[in-house]
Amino acid sequence: MIKFKVLKLLLISIVTFVLAILSTAKCAFLQGLIPDWTSINHAPFNLVEPVDIINPVLTANDVTDVSATFVADPFLFHEDGNWYMFFEVLNTGNGRGEIGLATSADGLNWSYDQIVLFENWHLSYPLVFKYDGEYYLVPETYRVKEVRIYRATNFPYDWTYYSTLIDGKDFVDPTIFRYNNVWWMFVSDTSSSNCYLYYSDNLTEGWTEHPMSPVVSNDDSKARPGGRSFVIDQDRIIRIAQKDDVTYGEQVRAFEVDKLTKTDYAEHEVSQSPILYPSGTGWNNTGMHQFDPWWNGNHWLCAVDGTSGGFDTWSIGIYIAPHPSFPNEPPTADAGPDQTVEERLTITLDGSNSTDPDDGIASYLWTQTAGPTVTLSDPTAVQPSFTTPDVEPDGTSLVFELSVTDSGGLRDTDTCIINVIWVNMPPTADAGRQFASPAGFHRRARYGASLLSGCDPGFVWRGLQPWLWTIPYHTGVARRPVAS
C-alpha cells in the first residue's frame, strides 16, 4: 500500500511538472511576435530583383472587385507555407484607399484575391503582424485623426476595429514594433516632415508620446515612415523612412537606432542608404517609397512599390536580399571606350566587358549625364543603341554612365564619352522643271528653291540682267548658275 501511494505521488508530480512545462510553452507561444527576426544577423539592404520574375508583380489592372487607380504600400505576412500581401488599393469609384489582399505560394508570383477592409474614409499602409496568437492590422487612418488597430476574426479576410491607440493629429504611416518588452511606434503627419515616437507596455492601450518626440522635425527627407521597422541581430533596430523633400516618394532610406529607452533616442543612417531609388526606366522609373522585408529562412524577400511617373502609376514589386554565405566581391563596370563619331549615325554602347568575380551581374543601367538628350533603345540592355543628333560645326559630346549590380546587390559605375562631329554635306541645286515658251512671251524668274537652269536654249529672258543665284548653306558653299 505504501509503495502504491509513493508511486501515485510520483505520478502526480510528473504529470504536474509536464503540465507546467506545457503551460509555460503555450504562454511563450502565445506571447510570441510574428515576425521576430532578432536572431537574424544579416540586414536586408543589398537588394536585387529576382531573375525568375518580371516586376511589377501587382498592378491596378490585377484588381478585380473594384475599379482601381493604383496599388501601393505592400506589407508581407508568411505562415504555414503561405504568403500573404496586404496593400492599399485606391478605389477609383470613391477616391478612397482600401486594403487589398494577394496570395502566393512562393513569395514571388502573386495572385490578387479581394478587398479585405474598407471604411468611410481613406485607408492605406496596412502594417500586419501576429501577437499572442492574434492577427493585427494597423492601417493609416489620418482622415479621422487617429491611429486605429484592427484584429482578425477570420484571417486573412475579416477584420474588426479593436481600439484607438493615439489621436489628435493627422497621423500617417504608423509603424509599430516591439523592443525590450515595450511597444514602440514611429508615425508622421501629412506634412511628411515630422517623425513622432510613442511607446506603451500594452499593445492596444496606454500609448504615451516620447519626451524627445518628434525625433525628426521639419525634415521631409527622412521623417515619414516607409515600411516596417524591425529588430535584427538581437538589438539592431531599423527605422525605414521615405525621402520626400524633392518630390513625394523619391527614395527609401534606412536608419539604425543607436539608443531607445523611454527617455532617450538616437539614430544614424546606414551606409547602404538609400536602399531603394528610381531605376530611371520602367515601372519604378521616377520613385519608390515602400519597403517591407520578410526573412524566409534563406534570404530576405522584400515587397516594394514604385511609380513610372504619375500619381496613378504606383505598382508593387518584389526584391530579394541574398544571404552573404560567402564574401561578395563587387562587380567592375566597363562602359566601353570613348568614341568619336559623325552626326546622324546609329551608335551602340557596349557594357559587355563588365565583370563580376563571383555571383554574376544581375542588372545593367545606362544613364545619360551630359550632352544633348538622346533616346536609348533600352537603358537596361548590355548594348543599347541610339542615333547621334545633328550638331553645329564645333560638334558636341555625350556622356553616358553605366551602373552594374551583381546578384549580391553590390554596384559599380563607369562612364564613356561619345564625341559627335559635324559633317559638311554639299547642297543640292534645284532649278525647277524645264519648259519652253512661245516667242514674245515674257517670264520672270522664280525665286527661292528654284533656279534658272535647264530651260529651252532658245528662250530669251527679256528685261533681266544677269543674276547670281545661290543656295544658302551654313558653310557658305553654294553653286552659282548665271542666267542671261
127 and 197, same domain (yes or no): yes
Which three three-digit cell numbers place residue 368?
A: 545619360
**pLDDT recorded at residue 475:** 47
The amino acid sitting at 90 is L
Q: If you count them, how many residues does the chain have?
A: 484
Give CA 265 to chain center in angstroms. Answer: 29
Say if 22 falls within a structural domain. no
The reported pTM is 0.66
Q: Are 319 and 51 in contact (CB under 8 A)?
A: no
SS (H, E, C) the chain: CHHHHHHHHHHHHHHHHHHHHHHHHHHHHHCCEECCCCCCCCCCCCCECCCCCCCCCECHHHCCCCCEEEEEEEEEEEECCEEEEEEEEEECCCCCEEEEEEEECCCCCCEEEEEEECCCCCCEEEEEEEECCEEEEEEEEHHHCEEEEEEEEECCCEEEEEEEEEECCCEEEEEEEEECCEEEEEEEECCCCCEEEEEECECCECCEECCCCCCECCCCCCCCECCCCEEECCCEEEEEEEECCCCCCCEEEEEEEEEECCCCEEEEECCCCCCECCCCCHHHCCECCCEEEEECCCCEEEEEEEECCCHHHCEEEEEEECCCCCCCCCCECCCCCCEEEECCCEEECCCCCCECCCCCEEEEEEEEEECCCCCCCCCCCCCCEEECCCCCCCCEEEEEEEEEEECCCCEEEEEEEEEEECCCCCCCCECCCCCCCCCCCCCCCCCCCECCCCCCCCCCCCCCCCEECCCCCCCCCCCCCEEC
Cα atoms found within 13 Å of the Cα of residue 328, Cβ hemisphere only: 18
Q: Are 99 and 114 in contact (CB under 8 A)?
A: no
Q: How confident is the model at residue 434 (pLDDT cuts 50, 70, 90)?
A: low
126 and 274, same domain (yes or no): yes
Q: Are 335 and 347 in contact (CB under 8 A)?
A: no
353 and 382, same domain (yes or no): yes
Mean pLDDT, residues 323-339 = 81
Say if 333 falls within a structural domain. no
State the distance between the two ends of the chain, measured CA to CA, in whole angstroms: 148
161 and 262, same domain (yes or no): yes
Say if 23 falls within a structural domain. no
**pLDDT recorded at residue 341:** 95
Final residue of a domain: which of 401, 421, 441? 421
61 and 208, same domain (yes or no): yes
Mean pLDDT, residues 74-97 = 97
Q: How confident is the model at residue 303 (pLDDT cuts 50, 70, 90)?
A: very high
Q: How confident is the model at residue 480 (pLDDT cuts 50, 70, 90)?
A: very low
Say if 18 falls within a structural domain. no
Its domain, for residue 388, covers 339-421
365 and 258, same domain (yes or no): no
Which three three-digit cell numbers place residue 136?
A: 493585427
Say if 31 falls within a structural domain. no
pLDDT-wise least confident of 58-67, 120-129, 306-315: 306-315
Say if 60 falls within a structural domain. yes
241 and 110, same domain (yes or no): yes
316 and 345, same domain (yes or no): no
Q: Could you tell me which residue, 138 or 481, shows the higher pLDDT?
A: 138
Say if 227 falls within a structural domain. yes
SS (H, E, C) 357-381: CCCCEEEEEEEEEECCCCCCCCCCC
**pLDDT recorded at residue 453:** 46
Say if 21 falls within a structural domain. no
Mean pLDDT, residues 251-261 = 98
Per cent of the chain over pLDDT 90 is 72
Strand 411-421 to 339-342 pairing:
parallel
CB burial of residue 358 (10 Å; 0-12, 13-18, 19+): middle
Which three three-digit cell numbers place residue 225?
A: 515612415
Q: Structural domain tally of the chain?
A: 3
**pLDDT recorded at residue 50:** 84
436 and 414, same domain (yes or no): no
- Tell me the CATH number at 389: 2.60.40.10
Mean pLDDT, residues 450-464 = 43
Tens-digit pLDDT profile for residues 332-379: 999 999 999 999 999 999 999 999 887 678 789 999 999 999 999 999
Q: How confident is the model at residue 20 (pLDDT cuts 50, 70, 90)?
A: very low
173 and 263, same domain (yes or no): yes
pLDDT-wise least confident of 229-233, 243-247, 297-301: 297-301
Phi, psi (deg, nearest 5) at residue 15: -60, -45
134 and 148, same domain (yes or no): yes
Q: How many CB atoms lie within 10 A of CB 383?
A: 14
Whether the per-residue pLDDT at 435 is higher than 70: the answer is no
- Tell me the CATH number at 86: 2.115.10.20
190 and 315, same domain (yes or no): yes
Final residue of a domain: which of 421, 436, 469? 421
Q: How confident is the model at residue 429 (pLDDT cuts 50, 70, 90)?
A: confident
Of 137, 195, 149, residue with least CA distance to 169 = 195
